[in-house]
Amino acid sequence: MKHLNLLLILLLMTSFRTFGANTDTLEIVSHDEITVVTDPSKGEKNYTHWAVFPDKDEAIRKIIMKVKFACPDNMRCADWDYLDHITIKRIGGENGEMKDFEIGRMLTPYGGAFGKDWEFDWQVDVTDFSLLLRDSVEIEYKHTGYEPNNDRGWKVTLAFDIIKGQPVREPVSITKVYQGAYKYGDKENPIEEALKPVSIKKTGDAEMARIRIIQTGHGMDRPDGCGEFCNKFRDFLLDGKLVASRQIWKACGSNPLYPQAGTWIFDRANWCPGDLIQPDIYEFKLKNAEHTVQLAMEDYQSPKPSAQELISAYVIQYKSPEEKYDVAIEDIIIPSDKAIHSRINPAGFGPTIVIKNNGQYALNSLEIIHGAVEDKGSKFKWSGELLPGQSDTVQMHGLIPQEGKLAYQFELKKPNGKKDNYRADNLLSSDYSKVPVHSKNLIFYLQTNKTPEDNHFKILDHTGKIIAERTAGSLLADTTYKDSVQLVEGQYQLLLEDKAGDGLEFWYKTRAGRGKAALLNAEGKIVKSFDSDFGSGITYNFAVGPNPEPIDPLQISLGVFPTRAKDSTTFDFLSNNPEEVTIKLVKDPGGMVVEEHTYRDFQEGKITFDLSNYSKSRYFFQVFVKDKMIYNKRLRVSE
């Protein structure tokens, strides 16, 4: 029995991890690597699980909801950008109260070309629901869609980090304001009739409130493409007066999850494929015993309406902030190993964090100590105006160590020159990966496509000095550039940008053609090859040092284009060494190999494949080197 009790204690201890200086986090998993598929007969399928959260008397500082996607063990990743809802269904056990509060909204990726080892993580702050996430809670993950469910799906993990400690503000009540799919553009059923003002009565000793909104647009009417592809504004009104307005729109070319198989770069109505929605938050003081809140959409009518605005909005009432001076680190962006920050990491300079003012007064100054965990650190002085409840992204000067323990630490001190009244979230560290090391003589290889006016590139050192550059408008179509640079030891950043947000290739834009980019050494060997389907840009951080890393034999520049073809498509291949390359054309669905070729001692060249004998369908164009699949692209044969 003594050994059993000790084992129980150890198991309980392992559920906690250090979050900050004096703060512990309890991870609660509601959905543990469940296989999620569609139900084509209904268009939706629910996955409900019970989870046990801290009891109502335990102090909670913050709750972070984490969503992880991977390919199922015995299936491939699913294809379509479907709408998923994460909801608190019931609280207080099986006979408890029904709530049906949407706490998260996920838009699934176009996953048709992801490999079996693919996975990605997202997270969102759901502290506003801390009154409900107590004791036994039924959490529902609802997956919508109609695609086949026998060979594709997602492996989903849904977990909550419960960060214990004194609340920033004690919550008093939570009220559902709107929750549903509201028709938009239908003159017979105008959205303003559904989004009427809602009365909010002050609860107890609450002094302020915040409205938390998740909104995405869906549907495809004519001629405007509403609600998925039309850019409309939304107003927030308090007591009938305009408080804030924003466009319900999101640029998708910089999505951290890239490339995807479908139209992932297309901007949409406040969402992108492969996206966990971040809520809009508006705070206001409870000056009266009763207030009205309202959302109002831009006037719009369609002759053939099909648009819907999916809105979940809640008002949470709080007491005033507990502390006069209280600032916290919300996230470490650079350096970081988080998937969501992978476009700009690993990095060699420019440490960047998100801070939040949790105090009663506006924040005007702050000291930030940052550096490797074992070092004394550097001091950075921040100044500005951050109102209570607001956040700011802060980028600092300085190099990020590339040797020793790869953990970087930030500490916040002296908000407005005062002592921080709650210091448990002032200290945070991040594990990270080091940047690759290359030789001092490099060549940036850029082959433009037919729209070179969209592109420009530059190489900068850690001070921001431009070492090499091709400005916007200086590039010619279908032209190969090889720009040599001689660099001294240090940290560098390569930026390749595309103002149209469609990279050097995109399957939908066949007429734009395909370009490619790579970083070469002085001998012309590829040290880094970049995927041409990159959307808005590429950020590549690297170091130059006396001991360059060995060249990865699988640093290969390759691609097939067009991938929406009628008669033929062309495969482009460039390798550092002669390789045995196997190419397979695989039918989708079904997985039947309809064409296979092996090329021995293949190092460079272009191969045209005749598709005229194939029926209109979808295929996968797969490339194998050393028995490893290194390329898997969706290919559409059209009539």
- Predicted local distance difference test score (pLDDT) of residue 586: 94
* pLDDT tens, residue by residue, 279-308: 999 999 999 999 999 999 999 999 999 999
Burial of 57: CB neighbours in 10 Å, binned 0-12, 13-18, 19+ = exposed
Neighbours of 189 (CB within 10 A): 12
- Predicted local distance difference test score (pLDDT) of residue 23: 61
Q: Which two tokens stand for residue 87?
A: 């909801």
Three-class secondary structure of residue 202 per DSSP:
coil
- Predicted local distance difference test score (pLDDT) of residue 22: 47
Mean pLDDT, consecutive 10-residue segments, the chain of 639 residues? Answer: 34 35 81 98 97 96 98 95 98 93 98 93 98 98 96 97 97 98 97 97 96 98 94 98 98 97 97 98 96 98 96 98 96 98 98 97 97 93 96 97 95 97 96 97 98 98 97 97 97 98 96 97 96 98 95 93 94 95 92 94 95 91 93 89
DSSP string, 569-632: EEEEEEEEEEEEEEEEEEEETT--EEEEEEEEEEEEEEEEEE-TTSPSEEEEEEEEETTEEEEE
C-alpha distances (whole Å) from 420 to each of 23, 170, 206, 411, 450 are 15, 19, 24, 11, 56
Residues β-bridged to residue 470: 457
Q: What is the sign of the dihedral through the CA atoms of 610, 612, 613 and 619?
A: positive
Residues β-bridged to residue 353: 332, 394
Cα separation, 89 vs 100, whole angstroms:
4
pTM of the model: 0.93
Whether 597 and 559 have beta carbons less than 8 Å apart is answered as: no
* pLDDT tens, residue by residue, 270-283: 999 999 999 999 99
Residues β-bridged to residue 565: 637
Three-class secondary structure of residue 511 per DSSP:
helix
Q: Is the peptide bond before 545 cis (omega within 30 degrees of 0)?
A: no
Q: Measuring CA to CA, which residue among 507, 607, 623, 516 is closest to residue 565?
A: 507
How many Å is the maximal CA-CA distance in the chain? 80
Neighbours of 180 (CB within 10 A): 11
